[in-house]
Chain A
């Protein structure tokens, strides 16, 4: 079955710097890759997603890149702010897999003012 590895597990940056989180997946049939942000005591919030027919997607300070050949995808956050501090999860889904999102173990991002 699908396996998603996420690195690093913790990341600390200065406000204004960029942050990059990387994920790899094992199932070449996976075609949907969302990123979620989870703040303490809350449910995961979708921040950006990408499908396998696209190599890059950007939304203001957030971008995601996908390399299908290497089976990895990355989240890039530019000009980080203290409110970006949270746990970030990547996930992968196989087409027609009946709702089964496979999540990475998460990255705790700390942005220091």
Chain B
């Protein structure tokens, strides 16, 4: 059974650019959540996807958007990057929308210059 994987591992962008981060959920899991973790802080919920639909969103602006594909993998897109977007972006998968337990991937470290 494969765990949650994310790509790329690291990414450097400049202010104003756009970025796409990718996540493959754990085998058999159909629900994916995305979190942003600033340095020295706990993860903050961005949004969750279930069966290709957004199913809940945290306090993040519309320039943070996502997609989920039929194979349950997911993308996080961030437009008009700002310096404060520099963080570790974490993807977590759950067996189903009703499952409490979330399993995290290793994250993508985004640096915005």
Contact = CB atoms under 8 A, between A and B. Distances in A.
Nearest to B31: A99
A102 interface: yes
Nearest to A51: B100
B43 A99 contact: no
A45 B92 CA distance: 10
Given A36-B104, A43-B4, A44-B90, 11 more contacts: A43-B90, A43-B104, A43-B107, A44-B43, A46-B103, A89-B42, A100-B56, A101-B33, A104-B42, A106-B40, A106-B42
10 contacts: A6-B42, A34-B102, A43-B107, A44-B43, A46-B101, A46-B102, A49-B100, A51-B100, A101-B43, A101-B102
Interface of B: 4, 6, 31, 33, 35, 40-45, 48, 55-56, 58, 90, 92, 94, 97, 100-107
A42 B108 CA distance: 10
Nearest to B98: A96
A28 to B, nearest CB: 17
A98 B106 CA distance: 22
Contact of B48 (A34, A51, A99): A99
A95 to B, nearest CB: 9
Contact of B105 (A4, A43, A101, A105): A43
Contacts of A51: 100
B104 A45 contact: yes
A100 B104 contact: no
A104 B100 CA distance: 17
A42 B105 CA distance: 8
Contacts of A100: 45, 48, 56, 58
B24 to A, nearest CB: 13
Contact of B43 (A32, A45, A46, A89): A89
A32 B102 CA distance: 11
A4 B41 CA distance: 12
B106 A42 contact: yes
Contacts of B94: 99
